[in-house]
Amino acid sequence: MSYVDEVIAKITKENPGEPEFHQTLNEVLKSIEVAVEENEDIYRQDGLLERLANPERQIKFRIPWVDDEGQVQVNTGYRVQFNSALGPYKGGLRFHPSVNLGIIKFLGFEQIFKNSLTGLPIGGGKGGSDFDPKGKSDREVMKFCQSFMSELYRHIGADQDVPAGDIGVGGREIGYLYGQYKRITKNYEGVLTGKGLTFGGSLARTEATGYGLLYFTNEILKANNETMEGKDIIVSGSGNVAIYAIEKAKQLGGNPITATDSTGWVYDSEGIDLELLKEIKEIKRGRMSDYAAERSSAEYHEGKGVWSVKGDIALPCATQNELTIDDAKALVDNGVICVSEGANMPTTLDATDYLMDNDVLFGPAKAANAGGVAVSALEMSQNSERLHWTFDEVDNRLQNIMKDIFIQCNSASKRFDAEKNYVMGANIAGFERVAEAMQAQGIV
Residue 84 touches which of ligand 2IT, ligand NDP, none (Cβ within 5-8 Å per kind): none
Toward ligand 2IT, which CB reaches closer, 164 or 228? 164
Contacts of residue 62, defined as CB under 8 A and 6 or more positions apart, other chains included, come to 74, 75, 76, 77, 151
Binding mask 242-281 for ligand NDP (x = CB under 6 A): x------------------xxx------------------
Residue 318 touches which of ligand 2IT, ligand NDP, none (Cβ within 5-8 Å per kind): ligand NDP
Name the residue type at position 65.
W
Binding mask 12-51 for ligand NDP (x = CB under 6 A): ----------------------------------------
User: Minimal distance in Å, beta carbon 335 to ligand NDP?
Assistant: 25
CA 85 to chain centre: 20
Q: Which residue in 209, 255, 258, 348 binds ligand NDP (CB under 6 A)?
A: 209
Using the CB atoms, write b or e for 237-269: b if 16+ within 10 Å: bbbbbbbbbbbbbbebebbbbbbbbeebbbbbe
Contact 42, 65 (CB under 8 A): no
- Give which of 124, 113, 126 is closest to 169, Cα–Cα: 126
Torsion of CA 211, 214, 218, 220, to 10 degrees: 120
**352 lies in the site for ligand 2IT, by CB under 6 A:** no
Q: Which residues pair with 109 in a beta bridge?
A: none
Q: Which stretch binds ligand 2IT (CB under 6 A): 28-36, 135-143, 302-310, 368-376?
A: 368-376
Residues 423 and 169: their CA atoms lie apart, in Å, by 28
Residue 124 touches which of ligand 2IT, ligand NDP, none (Cβ within 5-8 Å per kind): none
Residues 5 and 296: their CA atoms lie apart, in Å, by 54
Q: Which residue in 376, 383, 410, 421 binds ligand 2IT (CB under 6 A)?
A: 376
Select which of 105, 114, 126, 231 is catalytic: 126
Contact 21, 15 (CB under 8 A): yes
Residue 306 touches which of ligand NDP, ligand 2IT, none (Cβ within 5-8 Å per kind): none
Residue of this chain nearest to ligand NDP (CB atom): 239
Give 67: exposed, middle or buried? Use CB within 10 Å, 0-12, 13-18, 19+.
middle
Toward ligand NDP, which CB reaches closer, 25 or 48? 25
Instruction: Decide: helix, strand or coil at residue 356.
Output: helix
Is 250 labeled as catalytic in the residue annotation? no
Q: What is the Cβ-side half-sphere exposure of residue 6, based on CA atoms within 13 angstroms? A: 12
User: Minimal distance in Å, beta carbon 47 to ligand NDP?
Assistant: 29
Residues 107 and 20: their CA atoms lie apart, in Å, by 9
Contact 97, 75 (CB under 8 A): no
Contact 373, 115 (CB under 8 A): yes
Q: Which residue in 88, 123, 125, 342 binds ligand NDP (CB under 6 A)?
A: 342
**79 lies in the site for ligand 2IT, by CB under 6 A:** no
Residues 111 and 50: their CA atoms lie apart, in Å, by 17
Toward ligand NDP, which CB reaches closer, 7 or 241? 241
User: Minimal distance in Å, beta carbon 263 to ligand NDP?
Assistant: 6
User: Minimal distance in Å, beta carbon 371 to ligand 2IT?
Assistant: 9
Q: Which residue in 193, 255, 258, 348 binds ligand 2IT (CB under 6 A)?
A: 193
User: Minimal distance in Å, beta carbon 344 to ligand NDP?
Assistant: 4
DSSP letter string, 282-312: IIS---HHHHHHH-TTEEEEESS-GGGS--S
Binding mask 306-325 for ligand NDP (x = CB under 6 A): -----------xxx------
**90 lies in the site for ligand 2IT, by CB under 6 A:** yes
Q: Which residue in 164, 306, 367, 398 binds ligand 2IT (CB under 6 A)?
A: 164
Q: Which residues bind ligand 2IT (CB under 6 A)?
A: 90-92, 114, 164, 166, 193, 344, 372-373, 376
Which residues are at the interface with ligand NDP (CB under 6 A)? Answer: 165-168, 170, 209, 237-242, 261-263, 317-319, 342-344, 369, 372
Catalytic (active-site) positions: 126
